Structure 1
């Protein structure tokens, strides 16, 4: 199988690439990156792209399954408009090119609470993206909705505090839908989802996936 990955240099994306390399089902992994990042691996090919001109790479956007793990924070992006451009526009364009290129299974890393009608910017952004990717009518579409993503060695103070606070409430049985998931475990969920052969759309909060 041939896998395509965007967001491959992010905390979750790197784990996805690592686990794909270890998976015998995959014979080729194409990582679309802004600059070289990974050590040389015989199954891995890095394709350098400009995400504002992704259509220039359309000949390379062909495969069996695609993983869309791209994302940024409001702080890193600098504005809501810039975050929308990365988290929504780039991923939607990638999905459109995947659909045109015959990709059968598209796996989107979204977020719990995604809702196109939400009053919260982040939830609305994720919800609009989910809605528009669904409209592309992939043969298989898997949308994974984690709560807090726990990045190894994170230096984001807010993320560290949120993880500790949520952990405390989770131990009391509260806010389980927002429970933190490590990037390693989240990547495992994404890669395992590529094994599912059911057609149509699957929208899965991480807590629901872990039950199945």
Structure 2
């Protein structure tokens, strides 16, 4: 049987590639994209569901859910607002998807994610990982990419000056860095989720070093 999936964060760097990948996957019958702004693409498999992430509606029957919601503290405006998007909203979507019958979850986390980290960003990512594990889905795939490579401008995303500098340095030193710390194409992160989520039972953690193979 072909699968029905949902994705949150389909307009982001990884999410946009993941959405396209899901739409072209012949094993997938239907893709529901959850968001606050309409998508700029249309497809016979795609249904956009306008949502308020603070009060999610009942979702249609699902097999899998993909979580790619993310922001920055600068864009969000505060640590609290950042946490609301990266932790609270992703977790809310996961819970709603499980109620709708989803058995598998895929999530975009980050290199160094650790709920006990002294740094805020990896701490929030680690807390989300732990919260998703506690939901005990049939399968959970966590990808932990390093610096993401991709065209944010084409997505209409704001320029991230610090990220631009990091990417430039990463490209320069990538040949000399261990794979775990090399910048990684967003397309590879998206493809890892598309490939691994449907066949995973239990928890599968894919670090940045292994994402390069997808």
Global fold match (TM > 0.5): yes
CA distance, structure 2, for counterparts of residue 137 and residue 69 of structure 1? 19
- Residue 125 of structure 1 and its aligned partner are, at CA, apart by 0.3
Cα separation, 1, equivalents of 2:149 and 2:59? 35
In the alignment, structure 1 residue 105 sits paired with structure 2 residue 107: no
Return the alpha-carbon distance in structure 2 between the equivalents of residues 59 and 5 of structure 1. Answer: 12
Q: In 1, distance between residues paired with 2:211 and 2:172? A: 22
Structure 2, unaligned runs of 5 or more:
154-158
2: CA distance, partners of 1:120 / 1:53: 29
RMSD: 1.6
Residue pair 1:110, 1:145 contacting (<8 A) in 2 also: yes
Aligned to 2:116: 117
Aligned counterparts of 2:4 and 2:147: Cα–Cα separation in 1: 29
Measure the CA separation in 1 of the matches of 2:41 and 2:127.
35
Alpha-carbon spacing, 1:138–1:51, altered in 2? closer, same or farther (3 Å): same
Q: What TM-score does the superposition give when structure 2 sets the normalisation length? A: 0.90
| Mapped contact 1:152–1:182 kept (Cα < 8 A) | no
Which of 188, 193, 207 aligns to 2:196? It is 193
- Shift of the 198–185 alpha-carbon distance from structure 1 to 2, 3 Å rule, reads closer
Q: CA deviation at 1:208?
A: 2.3
Question: Does 2:173 match 1:169?
Answer: yes
Secondary structure (helix, strand or coil) at the match of 1:189 reads: helix
- How far the C-alpha of 1:179 sits from its partner, in A, is 1.6
Aligned length: 207
Task: Report if the CA contact (8 A) 2:14-2:68 is conserved.
Answer: yes
Unaligned runs of at least 5 residues, structure 1? none
- Could you tell me how far apart the structure 2 residues matched to 1:39 and 1:117 are? 39
